Amino acid sequence: DRVVSSRHWLAGFGLPEQDGLFPGDDTLRVERVNEGYGEAERLALMASRPSLLNGSPVLVRGGTFVDAEFLSELSELTGVRLALRDRVRRRWIAPPSSPLAAWTEPALAGAEARGEVMLGGTAFRFSAAPRHPDLWLVAALPRGELDRLTGLVRGVAFGLAAAALVGAALAAVLLSGRIARPVRELADQSRRVASGDLAAAVDATPGDEVGELARAFNAMTAELRTSRERLLQTERVAAWREMARRLAHELKNPLFPIQLSIETLRRAWNEPGGRERFAALFRESSDTVLEELQSLRRIIEEFSEFARMPRPELRPVDVGAIVEQVLALYQARAAGVRIEKDVAPEVGTVSADRALLARAVGNLVANALEAMPDGGTLRLRAAPAEGGVVLEVADTGPGLDEEQRTRLFTPYYTTKKGGTGLGLAIVQGIVSDHAGRIEVQSAPGEGTTFSLYLPRDPAAVVSSPPVRERSA
């Protein structure tokens, strides 16, 4: 390899490159330079890169002289005192103002050197390493300044760590809030479903486990609504079948005596000499027919009244006032019965039809009084419940067995002599029309408790199955 051009050493043109650099190397080296009318050797920081000249590969080499001025500029940029120590000539290459120039016998040996030295009354921490066979690069910084920088770095590190902790805490709060909000909403909607409101739904956010849970919850409530509608339809069909059977039975009871009376009259009329007997039988048979026709009329009127239950006209109704109204109405029939009333002050109002609600409570009170002909205790309680109120009517009568509880709300089913079997069916219809439900708790010998659950706003609630039975 030969030198094809040299700006700093013109005499080098055409000479062989004996100690050329490999492409990419950066190193300190001694360069021959033109100086005045002669030549001199200068220390330089050199680098080389491959290139092309007229299609031929060449190696371009360049650099900068490493002298006191260069080291001074580096010191100003970094704040670190820099110097080169020529161990052969035992001299420093350093800015004139550098305290390192006063260091007469630096202990530089081995691969590198570190330590502390007093220069000009100031403690310096230094680090040195060889950068040329005869040259060591020395970097030094006053101990106080180094401690200050160390403290600054440590403070910045602590600040960054604190900021990271605060950021992590804020992120955790935001993330927990993002997760907790839908979970709380899911819990709230679950409580609504537990109270009978199957219209509850949760906003499902896509792409996360909580959203998947919300979608599963919504699918479950939709399936529950569908199942409940099917159940209600089945219950309605079964109830109408049972009512038709009971109605046929009730109609058959008066029709049979009427048929017998007419057949007896016909036989008496057709018998020879039976005209005189016919006259005697006519009065008796006509009385029987009229009596049974009255019974038929009563049955038809009761059925017609049950079938024509008016739709409720919802208005704000004071629950406590309803309790007082019903007790005043049945007070005269409560001879020998002790009445206990417990209406919570915060029970407030519900949206209901006042007349229908009073009728439902009145039917339950009448039922309780009839269950205690020999006296007992009648308890009326009203208290707020989740999303509405609960009204309880309890008696200390003989109670009901499981079969009686199962058929209790079937039209024309009654456990009392002379009862029509429509009173509790009417109560059930009124409660259902108010989007509420009725529960029965009873056992033989332990009395009976009817609990009416009424929402404060029936229009906002999809009606749930109206009857639940519980044994004591």
DSSP codes joined into one string, 435-466: T-EEEEEE-TTS-EEEEEEEES-GGGSPPPPS
Virtual torsion, Cα 384, 386, 391, 397, nearest 10 deg: -120
234 phi, psi to nearest 5 deg: -65, -40
- Position 299 in a domain: yes
Look up the domain containing 217 and give its range: 209-307
- Position 42 in a domain: yes
Q: Are residues 227 and 327 in the same domain?
A: no
Q: Are residues 234 and 265 in the same domain?
A: yes
- Position 204 in a domain: no
Q: What is the pTM of this model?
A: 0.45
Q: How many domains does the chain have?
A: 3
- Position 217 in a domain: yes
- Position 297 in a domain: yes
- Position 106 in a domain: no
Cβ atoms of 440 and 453 closer than 8 Å:
no
Q: Are residues 389 and 343 in the same domain?
A: yes
- Position 255 in a domain: yes
Q: Are residues 291 and 411 in the same domain?
A: no
Note down pLDDT in tens along the chain; length 472 residues: 666 666 666 556 666 765 555 555 557 777 777 776 677 777 777 877 888 878 888 877 788 888 888 888 877 787 788 888 777 677 788 887 788 877 776 767 666 788 888 877 788 888 888 877 777 788 888 887 777 877 787 888 888 888 888 877 777 666 666 666 777 787 887 887 777 777 778 887 776 777 788 888 888 888 888 887 887 777 667 767 766 777 777 778 888 888 888 888 888 888 877 777 788 788 888 888 888 888 888 778 777 776 667 788 889 999 999 999 999 989 888 888 999 999 998 999 999 999 999 999 999 999 899 989 899 999 999 999 888 999 999 999 999 888 888 888 777 677 666 556 678 888 888 898 888 899 999 999 999 999 999 998 876 654 444 444 444 4
SS3 string, 210-262, reads HHHHHHHHHHHHHHHHHHHHHHHHHHHHHHHHHHHHHHHHHHHHHHHHHHHHH
Q: Are residues 268 and 347 in the same domain?
A: no
- What's the token pair of residue 362? 């009145």
- What's the token pair of residue 371? 């269950």
Q: Are residues 466 and 356 in the same domain?
A: yes
Q: Are residues 450 and 332 in the same domain?
A: yes
Q: Are residues 323 and 459 in the same domain?
A: yes
Q: Which of 43, 65, 87 is the last residue of a domain?
A: 65
Q: Which of 254, 272, 307 is the last residue of a domain?
A: 307
At 460 the pLDDT is 61
- Position 200 in a domain: no
Q: Are residues 261 and 340 in the same domain?
A: no
Q: Give, in order, the Cα–Cα distances in Å from 406 to each of 396, 400, 411.
A: 20, 10, 12
Q: Are residues 217 and 257 in the same domain?
A: yes
Q: Are residues 278 and 416 in the same domain?
A: no
- What's the token pair of residue 357? 């609600």
Please give the Cα distance from 308 to 258 (Å, whole number): 28
Please give the Cα distance from 270 to 316 (Å, whole number): 68
Please give the Cα distance from 17 to 143 (Å, whole number): 46
Q: Are residues 214 and 268 in the same domain?
A: yes
